[in-house]
Structure 1
């Protein structure tokens, strides 16, 4: 298995996995996969990675800024998506651990995630990698006309920003 950057060339594979996540109704409030340019613009210029095995993309993870204000320059939001056929096989943990390493190499002191409360597997993945639950947002958004809650998690670096 190899970790590679997400690029415009491999974005169709990212988009396919993203669509699988959308289809679960547990991964995102998005209902459509964004075009490359929109996705790329919304993310940091580092920490957008995919895990490949031979010619197959098993999953991907990314970092997005939480604010354009400079005081939040060391804070990033995490996303992790795993191809349907590879869920529950440790792929998410490999990606999230690598993302943590990359984030610290780039001065990120806090990683945060907002995960649909019903997505128990993703909450467990994040807590197993040092994230802690800090609260929740009740009925933060609608998906298919149903109000859903988000569990909020964060991970503070032990090396950066202390």
Structure 2
């Protein structure tokens, strides 16, 4: 579940994609037998120098792959990429009502660092945004 309320085109994402070509904050494709089933990325957190060792994680995986541990493998892979990018912390923004994503991150040791109640409205539903985080020392 994303916070986009209308379909997003490739051209809509070009600026984001070009910015993510930065070595510190890449985008990775998740594939299974040459079939793209998702993507993951690291992004700058908050934009101030004191936060340079913290990154925001984004993961999008096709729902048809649930139960195959793709999300777990993805987070474990990203953890191996942090040291070379001088990153020590990961922050994830997850709708608290998104039970599969909340469960995935919590199983990987992420804790809830914050909660923004009812900050989003999708299809007349008010959603809470959980801020999850993990230190990788």
TM-score range, shorter chain: 0.7 to 0.9
RMSD: 1.9
Of 84, 90, 108, which aligns to 1:105? 84
Residue of structure 2 equivalent to 1:38 = 15
TM-score when normalising by structure 2 = 0.84
**How far does residue 42 in structure 1 lie from its aligned partner after superposition?**
5.3
- What stretches of structure 1 of length at least 5 have no aligned partner? 1-26
Q: C-alpha deviations, 1:95-127, integer Å up to 9, x for none?
A: 111112112321111100111111111111111
Of 82, 90, 94, which aligns to 2:73? 94
**How far does residue 80 in structure 1 lie from its aligned partner after superposition?**
1.1
Measure, in 2, the Cα distance between the counterparts of 1:122 and 1:130.
13
**How far does residue 39 in structure 1 lie from its aligned partner after superposition?**
2.6
Of 63, 67, 74, which aligns to 2:42? 63
1:88 match: secondary structure: coil
Residue of structure 2 equivalent to 1:133 = 112
Greater per-residue strand proportion: 2
- What stretches of structure 2 of length at least 5 have no aligned partner? none
TM-score when normalising by structure 1 = 0.72
Residue of structure 2 equivalent to 1:28 = 2
Measure, in 2, the Cα distance between the counterparts of 1:145 and 1:100.
36
